[in-house]
């Protein structure tokens, strides 16, 4: 791998992935809202920022996402659902990465291994949902997983060596999760980045369109 693009490079996991890649000697291009004005909830912004890039990138890593949007916390019950909060969750956690994928496909090399990976979450697994709650966040991540699955099929027609992945990073100590850690074990961003890159390294075109956790295990849809 020579070149990588990290979307959400100013965040906890994104910055750690960028640093880990640079330590490997990879040339990293980072883009984020705070440093480059990349707003994944605005397709015009995505098209404008990514349109300035030439590539190719052997890895495009999307590290954007939010548990809370506009102060709306994950719901504990259906009675807490609001249309606005649910729409916000889809905008950030599903539509945003989907728009990045739409405008970044041209940046992937068609003639060799290339990876598009987006952070998802285990709670987005329908098959693994045994607790309920967090309805909007769960639904948005489940929708993202479907986008990744469908995109992998389409991408295989033009990029036969490409790998399109949804990845669960585990619980990571970032501003994203600070309010929700409780007693849950969590890892530092640097460790999470190494875990995720190790999973990416071990997967090939036959695995495209799959959903994996930080240890490489397949998560049910």
Preceding peptide of 56 cis, ω within 30°: yes
Give the pLDDT of residue 184.
67
- pTM greater than 0.85: yes
Name which CATH class applies to 3-213.
alpha beta
Each residue's pLDDT tens digit, 26-74 = 999 999 999 999 999 999 999 999 999 998 999 999 999 999 999 999 9
Each residue's pLDDT tens digit, 134-171 = 999 999 999 999 999 999 999 999 999 999 999 999 98
Query: 182 pLDDT band (50/70/90 cuts)?
Result: low
């Amino acid at each position: 791998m020579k070149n990588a693009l990290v979307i959400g490079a100013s965040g906890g996991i994104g910055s750690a992935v960028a640093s880990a890649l640079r330590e490997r000697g990879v040339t990293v291009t980072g883009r984020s809202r705070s440093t480059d004005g990349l707003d994944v909830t605005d397709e015009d912004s995505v098209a404008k920022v990514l349109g300035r890039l030439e590539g190719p990138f052997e890895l495009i890593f999307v590290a954007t996402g939010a548990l809370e949007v506009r102060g709306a916390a994950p719901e504990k019950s259906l009675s807490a659902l609001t249309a606005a909060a649910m729409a916000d969750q889809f905008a950030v956690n599903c539509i945003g990465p989907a728009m990045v994928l739409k405008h970044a496909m041209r940046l992937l090399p068609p003639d060799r291994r290339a990876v598009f990976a987006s952070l998802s979450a285990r709670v987005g697994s329908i098959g693994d949902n045994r607790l309920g709650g967090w309805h909007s966040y769960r639904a948005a991540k489940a929708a993202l997983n479907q986008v990744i699955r469908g995109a992998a099929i389409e991408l295989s027609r033009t990029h036969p060596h490409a790998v399109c992945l949804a990845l669960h990073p585990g619980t990571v100590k970032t501003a994203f999760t600070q309010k929700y850690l409780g007693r849950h074990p969590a890892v530092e961003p640097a460790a999470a980045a190494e875990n995720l890159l190790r999973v990416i390294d071990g997967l090939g075109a036959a695995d495209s369109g799959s959903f994996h956790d930080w240890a490489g295990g397949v998560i049910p849809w």
